[in-house]
Homo-oligomer: A and B are copies of this chain.
Amino acid sequence: MTVDFEKMPKQPGRLKIQKRADLVTEEIKQLITQKNLLPGAKLPMERELQRLFSVSKSTIREALKSLEVQGLITVSTGPTGGATIIEVPLARTFQLLQNYLFFKEVSMEDIYAARRLLEPELAAGSVPFLSDEQLDALEHNIETCQPTSQEPSLLVRQRQADLDFHDILAAANPNPFLRFACELINEMLRRLVVFSTQTPPEEHTKFGCANVKIHAEIAKAARARDSERVRTLMKAHMEEASEYVKRLDGRLDGRLILDSEMAPRLRPLS
């Protein structure tokens, strides 16, 4: 169990010497993989981990911090406290991914190029798996989305609710990878899209109305379990939305996402 700290003094080759904390992090990861530790399982307490890997307090704390940042554990105080394995939260993954995209200058067109391809397939694939509650939620969401006012804050809320519709569909899809991709796109649109303040609010309202209309059709087709119609409608929806966003001068706000922004993410669904 103890780590073999072979540090060759001058390794001119590729692999750089890892820090002890990173080695310990890897050891713990291997432990998780090998012993098939599931979310909820607890790691030994700090003092024991120190003994286990023969490292000091600071080193084990850095290793735990690493795992915490990666979203693999949470650490709590008190008796029965310590590190608990958790399923990596989607929000955390999104944040880490956003770090990557921060340096890339992703445009709205870039996102929609992928969204156009994925969403129709996602929606069609979800249809057979939509529960009655989810179908209700889709219909209820449409009501919430009904554009009534042109107040700026309401327009933002409306766009949020609009994305919730797509998240409900995503939640029902059995393909975790496709689901993740679409949830990621939704999250990016939700958090990073900013519209030019110059565009007239009427345009926004028109956009909202168009969305509500096609969402209603999609919900109806979903209720009828007509996957192919859902696919067709969603395809049209994506084309249309893509055009609107372009006209409304939607841009992505390129910035790093902070943990503190992630907290209020707790929508009713999953």
Contacts and interface: CB of A to CB of B under 8 A. Distances in A.
Contact of A100 (B62, B113, B180): B180
A5 interface: no
A66 interface: yes
Given A93-B96, A100-B93, A117-B121, A105 B14 contact: no
A99 interface: yes
Contacts of A264: 14-15
Interface stretch (A195-203, A215-223, A254-262): A254-262
Interface string A105-134: 110011101100110010001000000000
Contacts of A62: 61-62, 65
Contact of A176 (B90, B101, B180): B101
Contacts of A176: 101, 104-106, 110
Nearest to A21: B65
Interface residues of A, number: 60
A264 B87 CA distance: 28
Contact of A71 (B16, B33, B92, B99): B99
A139 interface: no
B88 A93 contact: no
A163 to B, nearest CB: 17
Contacts of A110: 175-178
B88 A70 contact: no
A181 B90 CA distance: 16
Given A70-B99, A72-B256, A87-B103, 17 more contacts: A15-B264, A22-B259, A25-B259, A33-B255, A62-B65, A71-B99, A92-B100, A93-B100, A96-B96, A106-B176, A109-B175, A110-B175, A110-B178, A111-B177, A113-B178, A114-B177, A114-B178
